[in-house]
Amino acid sequence: MTFITALKQRWTQANSLVCVGLDPEPAKFPARFNGDPDAVFNFCREIVDATAQYACAFKPQIAHFAALGAEDALQRLVAHIHAAHPGIPVILDSKRGDIGSTAQHYASEAFDRYGADAVTANPYLGRDSLQPFLDRADRGVVILCRTSNPGAGDLQDLVVADGRPLYQHVAEKVAREWNSHGNCALVVGATWPQQLREVRAIVGDVPFLVPGVGAQGGDVEAVVSNAKTADGTGLMVSSSRAILYASSADDFADAAARAARDLRDEINRHR
């Protein structure tokens, strides 16, 4: 099953557009994990198992694992998601993009080493830097378009030769030229509702990964009203900290489940 097919099935089966971000920070773990040599895996596994029924996808952030030397925990976590919750796609958030054989290795890292169903990718080195990802027709390539951070406009809003901002040029490149296998999605931040609407008009039904709700202040109603597709789907609304660290006590998994459920329900009210 391809990434896009799995995602569409999950939107329907779970009635959810929530993407649960997995950004482990041991300093925020409950005290019960103190002294646990496998705390990163064990914490994330419990979060996954508690929130799976409310998730359309999971999105582990590679830097949070790599900085801790926890790449093995990441591999085992992805394997656990596939085994325990089949059908829920995993997006490796690594924002890769490089030239030649390096890009080939990054694609192998995401899809072969970690077993991800999709990967986030940076388009600013051009198509050849993404081609090894695009060529994996069964996997997803989630391409940065208009990101949620405050400095996004420094480059992404620059007006290019056709008179449009760069992020719109990226959106059209993806939709018209790079998506020949139908395996592309776009990262468009929740903090820019007008840009969400503009990009949706350019790309049609291409899925969006939408970071920035919750801790970054994005408004759920604005996201859904500006970015949903005609059938009320088309979105992976990502939340990490608000779900992972909903409680620092022993009820952390139950609290995470409630936060994921509440976000799902809030999104659905506006669909």
Direct distance between the N- and C-terminal alpha carbons of the chain, in angstroms, rounded to an integer? 26
pLDDT over 60 (residue 226): yes
Separation of alpha carbons 137 and 203, rounded Å: 19
pLDDT in tens, 67-82: 999 999 999 999 999 9
Q: What is the pLDDT of residues 159-198, one digit of tens each?
A: 998 899 999 999 999 999 999 999 999 999 988 889 999 9
* 172 CB neighbour count, 10 Å cutoff: 16
- The 10s digit of each residue's pLDDT in 214-224 is 655 578 999 99
In three-state form (DSSP H/G/I as H, E/B as E, the rest C), the secondary structure along 90-159 is EEEEEEECCCHHHHHHHHHHHHHHCCCCEEEECCCCCHHHHHHHHCCCCCEEEEEEECCCHHHHHHHCCE
* pLDDT value at residue 148: 85
- Mean per-residue pLDDT for 235-246? 97
- Positions annotated as catalytic residues are 95
Cα radius of gyration rounded to whole Å, the chain:
18
Q: What does pTM read for this prediction?
A: 0.97
Tell me the pLDDT tens digit for each residue of 110-133. 999 999 999 999 999 999 999 999
The answer to whether 58 and 91 have CB atoms below 8 angstroms apart is yes
What DSSP character marks residue 177? I
Q: Which tokens go with 141?
A: 């390539």
